A and B are shown apart, each in its own frame.
Chain A
Amino acid sequence: MNVTQSKKPRVVVVSGGSRGLGKAIVAELLAEGDIVYTFSRSQTEFVTSLMAGPESQRFSWRAIDGTDFESVEHYVNEIFEREGRIDALVNNAGIAIDGVLTLMRTEDISSLLGLNLEGAIRLARSCAKFMLQARAGSIINISSIIGIRGYSGLSVYSATKAGLDGFTRGLARELGGRGIRVNSVAPGYLETDMSEKLNPDQRDQIIRRTPMGRLGKSADVTGAIKFLISDEARFITGQTVVIDGGITC
């Protein structure tokens, strides 16, 4: 059995699906007809409207901090109890904290590593247990071009995203024989809540250096995610797909 051959809607877990790229991923998957489970620290208008709207039958949200590993694992177990399967995971939750390494607070370093890396690894482990039983599944880790190229002031964030790409390759090898695919998607600078921190000069500089001449949009990324989850990507695993308008080329 593979992810899309089943006529049933896919059951997809998306971490951090209340805003930014995660919100766009949730909306896109719901539009595809999937059953989407997501969690984040706080409820947003987007979440409230989905829970009250026609998609409420296929959408579930829980207030969980991604570094509360035990609660995340319980939530995944609950999803499996309810649905009987987990077809795909989009490991999207993440934070970006910048700063010169020697001036960074230890607490910030721990938060970055805890959510961006350990949180993603532990969520993948929770879901992979069920995917192993089904001998099918697709895991997408949301990485970043920051993990591929060095950027001053983002060394720790970069380490978490590069770590995530390494995790993708290792896990892809580990689970490939059981029909489970693992890939990374590495967006460039997107017009999301996280890029609002950029000042106009930084923004202009990024646009100048981008061959496509603009910042990315969430929709530029969700198409690749949909594709990687789908059966169209059935022979693609262990890859990092860079979606950055060419800034790293």
Chain B
Amino acid sequence: MKRNEIEKTVMECIQRVCHEQSIPLKTVEFHHRVVEDLGLRSLDVATLTAFLESSFKFDPFSQNLASITDIRTVKDICDLYEKGLKGTLKPAATDDANDADSARIKRKLARRSA
């Protein structure tokens, strides 16, 4: 699938979610932030990714190829699906994040018991 087709699908899915949730929407730009600028809440983002999965027949999140925190802007979404459809996405680096989290929790517990 070409980049412009991916962008068109992403825009249509965003517009559909906004329409269904009665989110006022003027124009969608690639630099728009999904939450801050477009006003989508977490469940709206979940609905958007469900529409995108149905359109692209590909879910990068359940396959652990991306984390929802990787997406901030409309461009990020287009980039993610473009890479995913090309097969160039690498598994999300969750282990580092988990290690960092557990280290933080351990430090906190150590401070409490001190």
Binding site for B on A (CB under 8 A): 73, 80, 125, 129-130, 132-133, 135, 174-175, 177-178
Contact = CB atoms under 8 A, between A and B. Distances in A.
Given A73-B62, A125-B62, A135-B20, A178 B47 contact: yes
B62 A132 contact: no
Interface of B: 20, 43, 46-47, 49-51, 53-54, 59, 62
Given A174-B43, A177-B43, A178-B43, A133 B51 contact: yes
B43 A133 contact: no
A107 B51 CA distance: 38
A133 B47 contact: yes
Contacts of B47: 132-133, 178
Contacts of B49: 129
A129 B20 contact: no
17 contacts: A125-B62, A129-B49, A129-B50, A129-B59, A130-B50, A130-B54, A132-B43, A132-B46, A132-B47, A132-B50, A133-B47, A133-B54, A135-B20, A174-B43, A175-B43, A177-B43, A178-B47
Across the A-B interface, give the 5 residue pairs with the lowest CB-CB distance, nearest first. A129-B50, A132-B47, A132-B50, A133-B50, A133-B51
A163 to B, nearest CB: 20
B25 to A, nearest CB: 18
Contacts of B54: 80, 130, 133
Contacts of A174: 43
A120 B108 CA distance: 34
A213 B53 CA distance: 51
A125 B51 CA distance: 14
A144 B62 CA distance: 29
Nearest to B41: A177
Given A73-B62, A132-B46, A132-B47, 17 more contacts: A80-B54, A125-B62, A129-B49, A129-B50, A129-B59, A130-B50, A130-B54, A132-B43, A133-B47, A133-B51, A133-B54, A135-B20, A174-B43, A175-B43, A177-B43, A178-B43, A178-B47
Nearest to B59: A129
Contact of B53 (A129, A135, A177, A178): A129
Contacts of B59: 129
A174 B43 CA distance: 8
A2 B16 CA distance: 19
A88 to B, nearest CB: 17
